[in-house]
A and B are shown apart, each in its own frame.
Chain A
């Protein structure tokens, strides 16, 4: 069965500081991994995804994430936070086989606050 754990329901950083949002997953087959962002009263928007190939993936708005199979992690980072990054971020996993085929499972979400 697949699952996602996001460490830290709230993360607060200063503008210009490093953003690090943590995500660990479990999967019985090679996973597809995603980060989505949700701004207030809106739907979800894809930031980046890992399917196969290069383990460091770059997304929109300067975000990137690294797939580490040995640690079952897919942490999201951004070198310098901007006020407009304040939002809720969700890590998600899906599988192209196994008992969870076709399922897209989300973590609990991390609310990012950026202080001036």
Chain B
């Protein structure tokens, strides 16, 4: 049982480059979210989805896009990377809003 799989684990980008962080879950969870974690800031919600075809913005959505074409996958796109997007990114999924959220192992992104 793979759970929530994030790729890549590490990435270095140059300012202005674009990339997609991948997130896949095999638990048939409807709810999926992307967070960024910065020291002293906790986990801040970037975008979330309550099912295939439905996404919404979280607390810090600027500079990021998402789509949810399938239940399993929820990719996060950085349109034009900036140094302020240097962070650790976590993807999470849950069966319902009241159920345990399962997290990927994170992607450590550095933008130079």
A: which residues have CB within 8 A of B? Answer: 6, 9, 32, 34, 36, 42-44, 46, 49, 51, 90, 92, 94-96, 101-109
Contacts and interface: CB of A to CB of B under 8 A. Distances in A.
Contacts of B31: 102, 104
Counting from the closest, the 5 A-B pairs by CB-CB distance are A102-B50, A43-B103, A108-B42, A106-B43, A32-B98
27 contacts: A6-B42, A32-B97, A43-B90, A43-B103, A43-B104, A43-B105, A44-B43, A51-B98, A90-B42, A90-B43, A96-B98, A101-B97, A103-B45, A103-B48, A103-B56, A103-B58, A104-B33, A104-B45, A104-B48, A104-B92, A104-B97, A105-B59, A106-B42, A107-B42, A108-B40, A108-B41, A109-B40
Nearest to B59: A105
Contacts, number: 68
Interface of B: 31, 33, 35, 40-45, 48-50, 56, 58-59, 90, 92, 94, 96-98, 100-101, 103-106
